[in-house]
Structure 1
Amino acid sequence: MIEMERMIVLLILCHISATFAVLQLSLYGAAAIHSLQYLCTATLGISAFPEFVAVGMVDEEDFSYYDSNIRREIPRQEWAKEKVEPEYWEKNTKHFNLEEQSFKEEMENAMHRFNQTGGVHTLQSMNGCEWDDENDKIEGFFKHGYDGEDYLTFYLKNIRFPQTATAITSQSDNESKLIDCTRWLKRFVQYGRSTLERKVPPEVTLLQKDPSCPVTCHVTGFYPRPVNVSWQRDGEDLHEDVELGETLPNGDGTFQIRSSLRVSPEDRRIHKYTCTVQHSSLKENIVKELNEGEIFI
C-alpha cells in the first residue's frame, strides 16, 4: 500500500508540474523562502487510480497524503508523524472528505459546461502560501485546472502579518486563510528543519545515443529543488538549440532535471561546449565539458 501511495504521489507531482507553472524559488534566496501547498486531483475514467487524491507539500517535499480509498490524511515524513499535532490530521481529514465531494460535483459541472458525456478527465487544484522569513512577507496562491488547462488563478501578494487581533478579524476570508496557511507553514518548517534545510549535491552526467542526437545534461539526486542548468560555447551562455526539461521528483525525496543541446559534430570539433550546474549544495559549480570521455550512451 505504501509503494502504491508513493507511485500515486509521483504521478500527481509530475502531472501537476506539467500542468501548472509551479512556483520557482530563487536559487540563492531559497534558504529564506518556504512554501506550503496542497495538490488535489480528481479523476474520471481511470479505474486503477483513486477518484480523489490530495498531497501536502512543505518546501516542495511531500509530507502528507489523502485519497478516496483510505479517506483520511496521513503523514509521509518522520517529522510529520512525530511532531504534528493530532488535531491537524483530524481537521484536514474532515476538510478533504468535503473536498472529495466538492471535486466530484465540480467535475460534473465542468463536463456539462464542455458538453462532455464520458471519457477520461482530470480536475486539479494547487493552493497554499509562501513565506519569506527575512522580512515576514507572505504570498498566497490558488490555481485550478481541468483536463490539463488552467482556468482559474488567484494570488494574494505582499501581505504582512497584522499585529493585533482586531486587525486579524478585519481581514477578508481569503486573507484569513492565507494567515492560517502561513502559521502552519512556520510550524512545519520548525518541526522538519533538519530534513527541509538539508543540502544534497547533484550528480551530473552527459548522455548521447549517437552523434546525430542531442546531447543531454542529466542532473539528478539533488535537494532542495531550485537548480540552474546552462550550456556554454567557448565560455558564452547558449540559448539557441537548447531544451530545458521540467524539474521532477525522484522516489527518494530528491529531484532531477535534463537539459539537451543540439550540436553538430563539426561544431564540436571547432568549439568548446560545457554544461554548468549551479545548486545551493555546491561550493563550486559543476562543469562538464562535451568531449568523448565525458559522454555516456
Structure 2
Amino acid sequence: MKAAALLFIISVHLVSGGSHSLQYFYTGVTRGINFPEFTDVGLVDGQPFVYYDSNTRQMIPKVDWIKNNEGPDYWNSETQNLQREEANFKVEIGTLMQRFNHSSGIHTFQRMCGCEWDDETGATDGYEQFGYDGADFISLDLKSTSYVAPVKEALITKQKWDGAEAERRKNYLTQTCLDWLKKYVQYGKISLKRKVPPQVSLLQTDPSSPVVCHATGFYTDKVMISWQKDGQDLYEDVDVGETLPNHDGTFQKRAELKVPPDERKKNKFTCVVEHKSGDPIHMILTKEKIRTNSAGNNVLFIIAGLVVAALVLITVVVGVVMVVKRRSDYEKARTSPTASVCSDTGSDGSGHLLSLWSHRTTDPVLHRSQKIH
C-alpha cells in the first residue's frame, strides 16, 4: 500500500480579520483499508458543520446552528446529491487508476473547493482543486479562468474543461458559493464570532529533546507561534506545525525549538503566541516551566494530542484527505461551500472522472458531474 494513499492530513486554512470561509472536502478511497470509500465534510471558518460518508449514506449536521436553521428538504436533497457523488467517485478512481497505469493497490481521489469573504473589506476569493494519491491532479485558476494540469495524465481533462466549464465554475465560486457562505455565517454568527484564548505550555520528552511550545483550546483558528532568542525573532532551528482541530471545535498548534541544551542555558528564549482573543502571550523558557516525563508530567499527551487530532481528521472532520500542497505552494488555497455545494448536475456526455456535480434543490449550488475523461 502506498504511503501517499494512506496519509490523511488536513490543513485548516487560516483567515484573518473579518474573513470567513466555506469549504468542502470530498475523498474517495479504494477498498482495502478500514475507512469509508467516500466521505464529504463541509466547514465554515474551519469548523465542520456537515458530514457524509458511504457507511451511513446520510448528510448529517455537526453543529446546532445548521441543524436548527435547515429543515428536512435541505437534508434530503443534500443526501441524494452526495449519494450520486459517492457513485461518481468510485468511477473516477477507476478512471484515474487507468490513466496512471495502476491495476491494484490503495488509491485516493480528492476534491476540495470553496470560497472566502471578508466582511470588513468585501474582498472575496474561491478555489477548486483535485488530487490523486496525495498529489495535485488539476486545479482551477480563477484569474485566467482556465484549469492548470501539473501532470500529463490531466491534460485531457484540462482540454475538456477549459472554456465554458471553467467559466461556469468560476461564476459558481465567485457568486453562489459566497451567497451560501454569508447565509451560514448569519446562522452561526454567535458561535463563529466567539474568541477563545489559547492555553500555552512548554513541553519536552527529555532534557536533550526539542522544547515544544504548545498552544491549544483557542478559537478562531488564526494563531501565530514564534520563538525569540534574546528578544529577536528566531527562524533557524524552529519548526512550526500545522493548526489542527480539537474534538470540541477549538484548535491547537505547536512550534519546536531545536537548539542544544547548552545554548538554551546561555541565551534567553521566549515563545510568543499571538491570537485575536487578546494580547500576545510571552512564555519565557526556564527549566521550571518545562513539563517533561521526568518531572512527573507525562509529556506524551502532546503526542496523544496529535493522534487525537489525526482521529479528529478521520472521525470528527471526517478523515478528509487534503491532497494539494500547502497554500504557499499553490497561491494559498482557500476554502469552500457546503457539503454538496461544490457539485452540480448535468452531464457533459463524456463519461466520468471528476464527474462530481449533482443537482441540488435546497440551494442554488451547481451540482453537475464534471467528468475527467
TM superposition score category, shorter chain reference:
0.7 to 0.9
User: CA shift at 1:87, angstroms?
Assistant: 3.5
In 2, are the aligned partners of 1:141 and 1:154 still within 8 Å (CA)? yes
1:176 pairs, out of 163, 171, 180, with: 171
User: CA shift at 1:14, angstroms?
Assistant: 5.9
| Other-structure match for 2:13 | 23
Cα distance in 1 between the residues matched to 2:70 and 2:276: 28
In 2, are the aligned partners of 1:40 and 1:125 still within 8 Å (CA)? yes
> How many corresponding residue pairs?
266
2:124 pairs, out of 129, 138, 142, with: 138
- Closer, same or farther in 2 for the Cα pair 1:152/1:213, shift >3 Å? same
TM-score (norm 2): 0.67
User: CA shift at 1:236, angstroms?
Assistant: 0.1
- Closer, same or farther in 2 for the Cα pair 1:185/1:24, shift >3 Å? same
- Closer, same or farther in 2 for the Cα pair 1:251/1:146, shift >3 Å? same
2:69 pairs, out of 83, 88, 103, with: 83
Matched, 1:292 2:278: no
User: CA shift at 1:175, angstroms?
Assistant: 3.4
Q: Please give the secondary structure, in 1, of the residue aligned with 2:68.
A: helix
| Other-structure match for 1:67 | 53
| Other-structure match for 2:79 | 93
In 2, are the aligned partners of 1:208 and 1:215 still within 8 Å (CA)? yes
Matched, 1:147 2:147: no
Structure showing the higher strand proportion among its residues: 1
| Other-structure match for 2:95 | 109
TM-score (norm 1): 0.84
In 2, are the aligned partners of 1:274 and 1:289 still within 8 Å (CA)? yes
Q: Per-residue CA shift, 1:101-139, capped at 9, x if unaligned?
A: 221111001111121122111111111111122243321
In 2, are the aligned partners of 1:14 and 1:248 still within 8 Å (CA)? no
Tell me, which stretches of 5 or more residues in structure 2 are unaligned?
1-5, 144-165, 293-373
Matched, 1:41 2:27: yes
Cα distance in 2 between the residues matched to 1:50 and 1:44: 9
In 2, are the aligned partners of 1:42 and 1:103 still within 8 Å (CA)? yes
Report the AA paired with residue 243 of structure 1.
Answer: D
Cα distance in 2 between the residues matched to 1:47 and 1:132: 40
- Closer, same or farther in 2 for the Cα pair 1:211/1:47, shift >3 Å? closer
- Closer, same or farther in 2 for the Cα pair 1:183/1:77, shift >3 Å? same
Q: Please give the secondary structure, in 2, of the residue aligned with 1:15.
A: coil
Cα distance in 2 between the residues matched to 1:87 and 1:131: 27
| Other-structure match for 2:209 | 213
Q: Per-residue CA shift, 1:74-115, capped at 9, x if unaligned?
A: 111111110124433233222212211221111001111121
Matched, 1:185 2:176: no
Cα distance in 1 between the residues matched to 2:110 and 2:24: 10
Cα distance in 1 between the residues matched to 2:29 and 2:8: 15
In 1, are the aligned partners of 2:130 and 2:138 still within 8 Å (CA)? yes
In 1, are the aligned partners of 2:7 and 2:134 still within 8 Å (CA)? no
Q: Percent of pairs identical after alignment?
A: 49
Q: Moved runs in structure 1, 4+ residues, more than 6 A? A: none
Cα distance in 2 between the residues matched to 1:135 and 1:236: 33
Report the AA paired with residue 289 of structure 1.
Answer: I
1:251-266 equivalent positions in 2, closer than 5 A: 251-266=247-262
In 2, are the aligned partners of 1:13 and 1:249 still within 8 Å (CA)? no
Point out which structure has higher relative CO (alpha carbons under 8 A, 6+ apart): 2
User: CA shift at 1:174, angstroms?
Assistant: 1.6
Cα distance in 2 between the residues matched to 1:293 and 1:79: 43
Please tell me the root mean square deviation across aligned C-alpha atoms, in Å: 2.2
Q: Please give the secondary structure, in 2, of the residue aligned with 1:260.
A: strand
- Closer, same or farther in 2 for the Cα pair 1:289/1:296, shift >3 Å? same
- Closer, same or farther in 2 for the Cα pair 1:295/1:67, shift >3 Å? same
Report the AA paired with residue 10 of structure 2.
Answer: I
